[in-house]
A and B are shown apart, each in its own frame.
Chain A
Amino acid sequence: MTTVASAGARTVAGTRPDPATPSATAGLVELTAASNRARRRLVPRWLRRLAGPVILLLAWAVASGSGLLDAQLFPGPVQVARAAWNLIETGQLQANVGRSLIRVLEGTVLGIVIGVIIALAAGLTRIGEDLLDPVMQLFKAVPSFALTPLLIIWMGIDEAPKITLITIGVAIHIYINTYSGIRGVDSQLVEVARTLRASRRQLISQVILPGAMPNFLVGLRVGLSSAWLSLIFAESINATQGIGFLMQRAQTMLQFDVSLLIIFIYAAVGLLSYALVRFLERQLLGWRNGFQGV
Chain B
Amino acid sequence: MPDQDRRTDLAVEISDLNRTFGDQEVLRGVDLSIGRGEFVAMLGHSGSGKSTLLRVLAGLDTEVGGVVLAPAERAVVFQNPRLLPWRRTLDNVVFALRGPDAVVRARDALAEVGLAAKEKSWPLTLSGGEAQRVSLARALVREPQLLLLDEPFGALDALTRIKMYQLLRDLWGRHRPAVLHVTHDVDEAILLADRIVVLSDGVLSLEIGVDIPVPRSRNAAGFAALRERLLAELGVTEEIGSAA
Chain A positions within 8 Å of B, measured between CB atoms, are 188-189, 191-199, 202, 206-207, 210-211, 213, 285-289
Contact = CB atoms under 8 A, between A and B. Distances in A.
A188 B79 CA distance: 11
Contacts of A189: 82, 84
Contact of A206 (B58, B74, B84, B138): B84
B37 to A, nearest CB: 21
B74 A213 contact: no
Contact of B96 (A188, A198, A288): A198
Interface in B189-237: none
B86 to A, nearest CB: 4
Contact of A196 (B86, B95, B124): B95
Given A193-B96, A195-B74, A196-B96, 11 more contacts: A188-B82, A191-B60, A192-B78, A192-B82, A195-B60, A198-B96, A206-B95, A210-B86, A211-B86, A287-B122, A288-B124
B42 interface: no
Contact of A197 (B88, B96, B124): B96
Contacts of B125: 289
B96 A202 contact: yes
A213 B87 CA distance: 13
A198 B102 CA distance: 14
B142 interface: yes
27 contacts: A189-B84, A191-B60, A191-B82, A192-B76, A192-B82, A192-B84, A193-B96, A195-B60, A195-B74, A195-B75, A196-B95, A196-B96, A196-B142, A198-B96, A202-B95, A202-B96, A206-B84, A206-B87, A210-B87, A211-B86, A285-B86, A286-B122, A287-B85, A287-B86, A287-B88, A288-B124, A289-B122
B86 A188 contact: no
Nearest to B80: A188
Contacts of B60: 191, 194-195
Interface string B101-139: 000000000000000000000111100000000000010
A213 B86 CA distance: 10
Contacts of B123: 287
A288 B85 contact: yes
Contacts of B58: 195
Contact of B78 (A188, A202, A213, A286): A188
A194 B85 contact: no
A258 B84 CA distance: 52
B59 interface: yes
A193 B96 CA distance: 8
Contact of A195 (B76, B88, B97): B76
Contacts of A287: 85-88, 122-124
A206 B87 CA distance: 9
B15 to A, nearest CB: 23
A198 B80 contact: no
A198 B124 contact: no
Q: Which of B95, B96, B122 has the most CB of A within 10 A?
A: B96
Contacts of A289: 122, 124-125
Nearest to A286: B122
B84 A207 contact: yes
Nearest to B123: A287
A213 B84 CA distance: 13
Contacts of A196: 75, 95-97, 138, 142
A288 B84 CA distance: 11
Contacts of B124: 287-289
Contacts of A213: 86
Nearest to A196: B96
A210 B123 CA distance: 14
A45 B86 CA distance: 29
Nearest to A198: B96
Nearest to A186: B82
Nearest to B124: A289
Nearest to A290: B124
Nearest to A195: B76
A195 B97 CA distance: 12
A193 B123 CA distance: 16
